[in-house]
Amino acid sequence: MSSWNSTALEIVYQVFGWTAFVSWSISFYPQVILNFRRKSVVGLNFDFVVLNLTKHSSYLIYNAVLYFSSAVQRQYREKYGVGQMIPVAVNDVAFSIHAVILTAFTLFQIVIYERGTQKISKISIGIVCAAWLSAAVCVIIALPSHSWLWLISVFNTIQVAFMNFRRKSTDGFSIGNILLDLCGGLANYAQMMVQSIDQGSWVNFYGNIGKLLLSLVSVFFDLVFICQHYLLYPGKKAGKCPKLDKESTEPLIKSSDHPQSENVYDV
């Protein structure tokens, strides 16, 4: 088993890793707290929650198996080199567990709170079912040959695909959450870079393509959002509605005894 060559770089690696954990984890709470205070989930994108749960669940399976399974670690080193470090850190596992719990709790809030006429779309249900059915087929294929590294790579691919799918809808994201997401993505990428510098190898990147793409895609879209918020549309504020319907301009109490032109208040 390989070890760190530099204690200083190992410390920096841990700092970046837990910075990513904190930044990404905090972004889950505003929505949960808002749902609790309102006792309503009206306006929340249900498809986003369902797809997110599938993404984080598959990412948890990938991280947990690669971090804890000696069999998978052995296959990883047989493929990428005996002296290579495992690319999954404890903060990756911790984040995945936290993300699954918070996303599942948000889904629970959808079940128990007022949701109006909103529903989970059939398209999202179909995509989720197809993803887990494909994963089940891969498990059956991997069992005879014990190709566990290939199997967990499938789960890693699933979470990246769902990330790309949900990124198509970004309306309503607060700039605060975007900045936290950007911080987490940069810290995650920096953590991988520190490990590669210490080991003198880039295997940490192409041996963990899911984590690499997760960071790069997050950073890319976050930068797009930030450019829109601060450069392209800096002056757009939430204000008056452009058009008011007739009902909104009528007085609350109508009287048939006085003409409509009569003022209620003295100016």
Query: Is the separation of the CB atoms in 218 and 59 below 8 Å?
Result: no
Amino acid at the residue 97 = I
Return per-residue pLDDT of the chain as tens, 267 residues: 567 888 999 999 999 999 999 988 998 888 888 889 889 888 787 888 888 888 888 888 888 988 998 888 888 888 877 777 888 899 999 999 999 999 999 999 999 998 888 888 888 888 888 878 877 777 776 665 555 444 545 554 555 455 545 554 444 345 667 788 788 888 888 888 898 898 888 877 777 776 777 777 778 877 877 887 777 766 554 444 444 444 444 444 444 444 444 444 444
Residues forming beta bridges with residue 40, ordered by sequence position: 114
Residues 6+ apart with CB under 8 A from 4: 10, 13, 198
Do residues 100 and 53 lie in contact, with contact meaning Cβ atoms separated by under 8 Å?
yes
Contact 4, 198 (CB under 8 A): yes
Q: Look at residues 201, 202, 198, 200 and name the one whose alpha carbon lies nearest to residue 6.
A: 198
CB 73 within 8 A of CB 1: no
Alpha carbons 263 and 180: distance in angstroms, whole number: 52
Supply the pLDDT for residue 95: 92
Contact 89, 64 (CB under 8 A): no
How far apart are alpha carbons 40 and 169 in whole angstroms?
A: 21
| Residues 179-211: tens digit of each pLDDT | 887 888 888 888 888 988 988 888 777 777 767
Q: What angle do CA 241, 244, 247 make, to 5 degrees?
A: 140
pTM: 0.67
